[in-house]
């Protein structure tokens, strides 16, 4: 069962400049940063708020580390902006299978490692009214290391 909006992914050309915009304009601070080599991105998670299920909601700023990454290709085609929406779930495996059973294409056969040690998968945007959708199960403990 999907429990919350985990994050909104925003693709950007310059992560540092984009982080500074969100800090100066809205007062959002970086909660976590990492480079995900598999996905070819450098990212910053900006915590927006805590949620009633013990999770949190974030903005995920994504800068490609290579042009051939999914985010790099998306930026080349679309420019900066909202890349995806992610819903939190306690069971990414079960929920992705249930959604697959409703005819929605799940992009990964098995969930992969995402930000902060989470488990993730994506749903095909053509099956989700044009929205790339991510399902996220948070890691048991959340790091606050930058």
Whether 84 is a known active-site residue: answer yes
Catalytic residue, from 32, 39, 43, 63: name it: 43
Whether 7 is a known active-site residue: answer yes
Catalytic residue, from 7, 39, 63, 83: name it: 7
Quick count: other Cβ atoms within 10 Å of Cβ 135?
26
Catalytic residue, from 32, 39, 60, 63: name it: 60
Whether 39 is a known active-site residue: answer no
Whether 43 is a known active-site residue: answer yes
Catalytic residue, from 32, 63, 83, 84: name it: 84
Quick count: other Cβ atoms within 10 Å of Cβ 132?
19
For the chain, strand residue ranges (E) read 2-11, 30-36, 41-50, 56-64, 81-89, 112-113, 119-123, 133-137
Whether 134 is a known active-site residue: answer yes
Catalytic residue, from 39, 63, 83, 134: name it: 134
What residues act catalytically?
Answer: 7, 43, 60, 84, 134
């Amino acid at each position: 069962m999907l429990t919350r909006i985990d994050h909104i992914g925003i693709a950007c050309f310059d992560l540092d400049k984009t982080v500074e915009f969100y800090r100066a304009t809205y007062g959002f601070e970086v909660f976590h940063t990492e480079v995900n080599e598999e996905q070819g991105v450098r990212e910053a998670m900006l915590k927006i708020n805590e949620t009633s299920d013990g999770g949190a909601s974030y903005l995920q700023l994504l800068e490609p580390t290579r042009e051939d990454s999914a985010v790099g290709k998306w930026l080349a085609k679309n420019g900066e902006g909202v890349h995806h929406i992610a819903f939190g779930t306690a069971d990414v495996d079960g929920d992705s299978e249930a959604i697959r059973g409703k005819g929605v294409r799940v992009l990964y056969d098995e969930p992969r490692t995402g930000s902060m040690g989470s488990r993730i998968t994506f749903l095909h945007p053509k099956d989700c009214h044009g929205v790339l959708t991510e399902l996220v199960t948070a890691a048991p403990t959340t790091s606050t290391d930058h």
